[in-house]
Amino acid sequence: MTPKQVQELIAEFRKLSVGNYPTPLEAIDNYSRSIGFAGRLYMKRDDMTANPGGNKTRHLEYIFADALASQADLFVIACPLQSNFGTMSAILGRKFNFPVLLIHNSDPPSHYTGNALLDELMGVERIFLGDIDEFTRADRAHDIVETIRSQGKKPYLYGEGNSKPLSSMGYVDCVLELVDQMEKEDKSFDHLFLPGGTGTCEAGVIYGVGLLDKPFHLHIVSVEYEKDYLMGNLVEKVQEMEALTGVSLPRPIEELITIYDQYRGGGWAVDTPETLEAIHEMARTEGIFLEKIYTGKCVSGMKAILQESIVHATSACYLHTGGFPSLFSQF
């Protein structure tokens, strides 16, 4: 499909206007020199979608539009204490006068830092379930939402219905934006690196890249899950997007992506020495900030992949997905 056709395809889905687009596509020459990469390295600054920004802005533009249109009167999201998604949801909630409830799998902190501090400043409603895993948290969130429903309210629980594939549409927008910038700003690259988490952001990027017949190859650096599990998640999420739009990708996603799980160390939020090095190196060469959970890990993986010539690239781009506030809870 052409970019115009892809644009028309996703234009049928409601969307709010929140972020500042296009986010910059910058050459990061100092960092590139520092890691000894002879080619051109770019960064897509999706850390600058809004304040504090990140990938969640693009997701929430679709989800909040859907929630508002459904006449819901409460937006509910189950997430960790330092969730970027939770904080951006609370920000949109304040902007659109839409009450938000965050359900955390942690105890209330004795001292508010990072995203939790921003949530506290906004006075967002929160339920703290204590130290439980993400699957138990999801079950408990369902129970809480059912109780709220039984009281006559109309809660919108993120994750229910079509909210996840809708959320991914924001990253089809990002791919269209990137392709447009590459042409207008004469910046070309063949490889895009991005972090691999729950798969919502990546599914949108994959779907956009697949519809446009692969303007670049995707390198997904897992921060949490093993390769096979992440691949299963991504296949499922892309299929959900295909079901929503009615348009299937012309080729299997395996041809569009390479997944790396060897840089995730001990898993989600467990940093490695290389993550810390990446955070310092990017800050000291470019004045750009990464954090330990997603972006630092992805950049450390990208560095190894380029330095060890696992990928023979002459040009590449890193998709900076944000997460700035959580940095303040990590050191």
Ligand X SMILES: Cc1ncc(COP(=O)(O)O)c(C=O)c1O
List contacts with ligand X (CB under 6 A). 54-55, 84-85, 195, 197-202, 294-295, 321-323
**Closer of 152 and 269 to ligand X (Cβ):** 269
Least Å from the CB of residue 233 to ligand X? 9
**Closer of 20 and 314 to ligand X (Cβ):** 20
**Closer of 197 and 301 to ligand X (Cβ):** 197
Distance CA 152, CA 146 (A): 10
The radius of gyration of the chain's CA atoms, rounded to the nearest angstrom, is 19
Least Å from the CB of residue 323 to ligand X? 3
Distance CA 79, CA 166 (A): 18
SS3 224: coil
Residue 324 vs residues 42, 127, 249: alpha-carbon distances, Å: 19, 24, 33
Rounded to the nearest 10 degrees, the angle between the axes of helix 3-10 and helix 163-184 is 150
Least Å from the CB of residue 299 to ligand X? 11
The answer for residues whose C-beta is within 8 angstroms of residue 112's C-beta and 6 or more apart is: 119, 120
Least Å from the CB of residue 267 to ligand X? 14
Least Å from the CB of residue 224 to ligand X? 8
Distance CA 217, CA 55 (A): 20
**Closer of 22 and 52 to ligand X (Cβ):** 52
**Closer of 85 and 216 to ligand X (Cβ):** 85
